[in-house]
Structure 1
Amino acid sequence: MVRVLGGPSSVKLAESICSEMRIPDVKVEFKRFPDGEFYFRLLEDIEGEDLLVVQSLYPPQDQHIVELLYILETCRELGAKKLIVYAPYLAYSRQDERYLPGETVSAKILAKLIQDAGASELYTVDIHNRGVLSYYHIPAYDLTAAEEIIKYFVSKGVENPLILAPDGEEDAIRRAETAARAIGTDYDWLEKHRDRRTGKIVTVEKPLKVSGRDVVIIDDIISTGGTAANAARILKKQGAKRVYVGVTHALLAEGALERLKAAGVEEVVGTDSIPGSVSKITTAPIIARKLRER
């Protein structure tokens, strides 16, 4: 039987997983010293146990990464049989190669650190670039929150919406298709271009079957909100009734929500991969289903 060890970044999520799977947690103690250094202690014996270590790596990501490494190394040294990492938000997943000379391949370094600390398996949710997982020599899985996101909007009265991917990347289209299939509706996508040096996003408009319909934009990460806002403006211009945004990882940099509202978005909803004011959907059922399949 797997037991759940919740790290500092994901205490409530770990509790939700325990409740969802009806499995016990591991009692631990953690704190920060006045100088900012991290303290972690296991309060019970975990020798020979399989542990699900729940620690999402959202900002401050460097702090959360160090916490995860300390937890994994401690559990390994004290005899845990298997250490399954559940990091719904996996930091540094955008830099999987050197785009410019001299750059750090941060995704590769993070993979090495997590594995060297003792991880046996890794699960994440809607990773920005699936190619990152090729750096893991342990089993590494990308799950999706698309079905949970669209079910939330249906529960709030959204009927027969178009599901829209705000860009034409393969993973984005796959998420939209998953959400559409879950409720028996249709989906579409837009194309975007981003300047790697300036970061400016340009979304290419095309005809969409949205006149008089609700639309749910499904995205993996929203930081500035630029991509989703561009899509929302196109949708409203073409006569969409109401536009909603469902995002797995709601980073929401300063001004992002205001930008989306100004573009005509009715509501922005995220998951508990990143705790916050819009985090109304739990990812607990997602990891629970996967672990039950093992």
Structure 2
Amino acid sequence: MSEEFFSDTPYGELGLIVLKSCCQLGKEVDEFLKEQYGIKDPDFTFITDISEVRFSNGEGKVTINETVRGKDIYILADIGNYGLTYKMYGMETRIGPDEHFADIKRVISAINGKARRINVIMPLMYSSRQHRRKARESLDNAMALHELEHMGVHGIYTFDVHDPNVQNAIPLLTFENIYPTAEIVKNFVENENITQDELEKKDMIIISPDTGAMARAVYYSNVLKQDIGIFYKRRDYSKIVDGKNPIVEHKYIGKDVTDKDILIVDDMIASGESVLDICSQLKEQGAKRVYAAVSFSLFTEGPAKFDEFYEKGLLDAVYSTNLTYVPEEVKNRPWFKQVNMSKLLATFIHHINLDISLSGLLDKTRGIKRIVKK
């Protein structure tokens, strides 16, 4: 069946290789792909059977248990999944980003050149915050991209990368940076029952937490037709704490926030220190409701602080995607709203496999305007 079904596909039969780090997202993508290809067989799956092994000394191995010869392969991996563990020297050890990235390379090695094409999908880009060099320091992201290029990868696909300029490291390789903006806006507008009249009254202000996120805030501001503000983040560059310069002061620049709804937009929440400090300041200045919308929520120091801010009325909700691991305990929090990106990711894979232009999917402005009008 599969050879006949995919006989007209430019790049051959589609195959998903879903690493353990991306298991749930991969299953959902598989179901949406079956819908898009019109496959009714409940036993059919695009997911290739593989085995991932961790040895007790920390080494790993990937084995592919079925043929991938001539297939158009898509490797799905979540390098931010800190929920996976294994026994190393008898101690429970969490799998970190470096090990997740090594597993991607192990898969490519196991394929051994038999696939027609290999694409890597890393929703959260590996080492995206170590993307540029300011001193004598490592340039991890560029090195990782070079490795994938040298291993014969055809394309790399990611979401809302910390700095889109990282693609300059691999100018001859396909690199697509996908924004989840429309899906986040859709969920936000529907869940909060925000009407067209409210938007026309300009009762909302879009806030950028720092200068680095300003372009994203401008985009949200333009499509929602709302005012914009920014927080200037002053750091103490004389010292480094936990690998970064500590924040000394957040200073707001923009329109008066009194009785206004606030939407703070950024690419990710790590510890949440910046966002929560901004929430406090905005509430002190008279803001009504305060929301945060991010592509990735890491919660590197746990959700307790967010619970506290929610209970005190300083934060109303955090909107984030399912593109990276979020613990079940966080998903069940009343302030956390998860935006499902599985269908969009499946649509991208479907288009790439059939060699259909991605321009319409990459341009989200029209879709957002349609959502807002509704």
Normalising by structure 1, what TM-score? 0.87
2:261 alignment partner in structure 1: 214
2:150 alignment partner in structure 1: 116
For residue 130 of structure 1, the aligned residue among 138, 141, 164 is 164
Partner secondary structure for residue 211 of structure 2:
coil
Segment drifting more, 36-45 vs 279-288: 279-288
Deviation for aligned residue 1:27:
2.2
Partner secondary structure for residue 265 of structure 1:
coil
- Runs of 5+ consecutive residues of structure 1 not aligned to the other structure: none
CA distance in 2 between partners of 1:180 and 1:289 (Å)? 27
Which has more radius of gyration?
Answer: 2
- For 1:56, the aligned partner's letter is D
- For 1:18, the aligned partner's letter is D
Residues 13 and 179 (structure 1 numbering): CA distance in 2 closer, same or farther, change over 3 Å?
farther
For residue 52 of structure 1, the aligned residue among 74, 94, 97 is 74
Residue-by-residue CA offset, 1:225-248 (whole Å, 9 max, x unaligned)? 122123222321232211111221
- For 1:50, the aligned partner's letter is D
- For 1:16, the aligned partner's letter is E
Residues 90 and 208 (structure 1 numbering): CA distance in 2 closer, same or farther, change over 3 Å?
same
1:18 alignment partner in structure 2: 30
Residue-by-residue CA offset, 1:105-150 (whole Å, 9 max, x unaligned)? 1122111222223311001111112222211241112111222222
Q: Does residue 239 of structure 1 match 2:286? A: yes
Partner secondary structure for residue 187 of structure 2:
helix
Partner secondary structure for residue 153 of structure 1:
helix
Partner secondary structure for residue 27 of structure 2:
helix
Deviation for aligned residue 1:203:
2.2
Residues 47 and 72 (structure 1 numbering): CA distance in 2 closer, same or farther, change over 3 Å?
same
- For 1:63, the aligned partner's letter is E
Contact 2:229 2:254 in 1 (8 A): no
Deviation for aligned residue 1:165:
2.2
Contact 1:223 1:256 in 2 (8 A): no
1:188 alignment partner in structure 2: 228
Contact 1:152 1:281 in 2 (8 A): yes
Q: Does residue 281 of structure 1 match 2:339? A: yes
- Count the aligned residue pairs: 289
1:6 alignment partner in structure 2: 18
Over the aligned positions, Cα root-mean-square deviation in angstroms equals 2.5
Residues 195 and 50 (structure 1 numbering): CA distance in 2 closer, same or farther, change over 3 Å?
farther
Segment drifting more, 15-24 vs 56-65: 15-24
Deviation for aligned residue 1:29:
2.3
1:225 alignment partner in structure 2: 272
Residue-by-residue CA offset, 1:17-51 (whole Å, 9 max, x unaligned)? 22223262222222323443323222221111111
CA distance in 2 between partners of 1:66 and 1:193 (Å)? 36
Normalising by structure 2, what TM-score? 0.70
CA distance in 2 between partners of 1:215 and 1:3 (Å)? 43
